[in-house]
A and B are shown apart, each in its own frame.
Chain A
């Protein structure tokens, strides 16, 4: 089955700097890759997603890149703000299956 790894597990950046979180997946059949942000005690919120027919997607300060050959994808947050502090989860899914497999998460701290 699918296995998703995520690095780093914790990340501290200064406000205004960029943050990059990297994930790898094992199943080449996976074709949908969402990223979720979860604040303490709250629900995961979808912040951006990408499909395997696209190499890059951007939404304001957030961008995701996908390398299908290497089976890895990354989240890039530019001009970080304190409110970006949260746990970020990457995930992978095959369209033909219902299951979304989550990575272990990255705790991002943005220092004012």
Chain B
């Protein structure tokens, strides 16, 4: 149990285009999902916390108009990188918390974004 999927696993796009990444909890309901960005040989940096049915909470320094997050159901959260630029190229990983009264997060497999 506690499987989280992400789609796509990798994407290459041109500068200025938008890219949507989906994060799904396959066998549990996730009221809270998290989006991280990981640059090569670096740690996971939290971008935003996504709660079902409400606006996402963004970390300091993360542009909410550039990284649009939607958590429309208990099993799906999406991250849209708008007007992507080469510096947005990174490994984007989502995670989901199983239930409200638990600390454990389960991670998706990640999406490798390359912006040309």
Contacts and interface: CB of A to CB of B under 8 A. Distances in A.
Interface in B97-116: 97, 103-110, 112
A105 B41 CA distance: 9
Contacts of A93: 103
A46 interface: yes
Interface in B60-100: 91, 93, 97
B42 interface: yes
Contacts of B44: 44, 89, 102
B104 to A, nearest CB: 7
A32 B110 contact: no
Interface residues of A, number: 21
A37 B97 CA distance: 18
Per DSSP, are chain B's interface residues mostly helix, strand or loop, or mixed? strand
Interface in B32-66: 32, 34, 42-46, 49, 57
A45 interface: yes
B32 A46 contact: no
Contacts of B112: 41
A61 interface: no
Contacts of B42: 104-105
A26 B63 CA distance: 27
Interface string A98-112: 111111110000000
A68 B95 CA distance: 27
A17 B103 CA distance: 32
B107 A43 contact: yes
A-B complex: 5 closest residue pairs judged by Cβ atoms: A43-B107, A32-B103, A43-B109, A102-B43, A104-B43
Interface of B: 32, 34, 42-46, 49, 57, 91, 93, 97, 103-110, 112
8 contacts: A32-B103, A41-B110, A43-B93, A44-B44, A98-B32, A100-B46, A102-B43, A104-B43
